Structures are given as structure tokens and as C-alpha cells.
Amino acid sequence: MDDNDVEEVRLPHLSVVLPHSSTEDDAKEAAADLIANSMKIAHFEIMSVILEETGTIPTPGGMRQGKRYLVAFRETEGEVIYIHPDYYKLVQGSDE
């Protein structure tokens, strides 16, 4: 593999639709509730929150006015086979 070959890897993620007045912190809180209670994942961290769209948004329950956030996360317990050396810098812009 040379420097021009890049393999796309997607983190587990979910989409939350919230009112127009919501913030990224609101999206983190809503996502954390879904991950812990609906997905039954006890140990995780939110890696990124991205505002995807605003306006009239199609949802399983019908059309809603608001903001759609894409929230990526990762489990913090369990077996990890490999972590890319630049993982944290690529995902959240830090060198943890």
C-alpha cells in the first residue's frame, strides 16, 4: 500500500434529530442515552458530533423540523485487534 491508497474505515455511528435550538452537547446527551439504553452498550465514548442537516428532516416517525446530527462512538471495553497510530489525531484532532 502506498501513500495514495487509503482504506475507508467507518466508526459505529447513529443519527439523532433534535429541535432547531439544540446544540452539539444536546446531541451528545441524546446519543449517549440511545447507546446506553437502547443499544445496551455500557462502556463507550463519543468520538465526534457532526451537524448533517437542518430544516425539514425525514424520520421513521414522519417529517420533523430540526437538526440532524451524526454521532460517532466507540466501545471502550472489549477486544481491540489494532488501532492505527494516528487514530485519535484523525478522528478528533488530538494526540491522546
Give me the pLDDT at residue 8, please: 64
**Least confident interval from 28-42, 49-63, 75-89:** 75-89
Q: Rounded to an integer, what distance in angstroms lies between the CA atom of residue 59 and that of residue 31?
A: 16
pTM of the model: 0.70
Domain boundaries, the chain: 13-92
Task: Tell me the three cell numbers of residue 24.
Answer: 452539539
Give the CA count within 13 Å in the CB-facing half-sphere of 26: 13
Look at residues 18, 61, 23, 42 and name the one whose alpha carbon lies nearest to residue 73: 42
Alpha helices in 1-96 (DSSP H): 24-33, 87-92
Task: Tell me the three cell numbers of residue 76.
Answer: 471502550
Give me the pLDDT at residue 84, please: 66
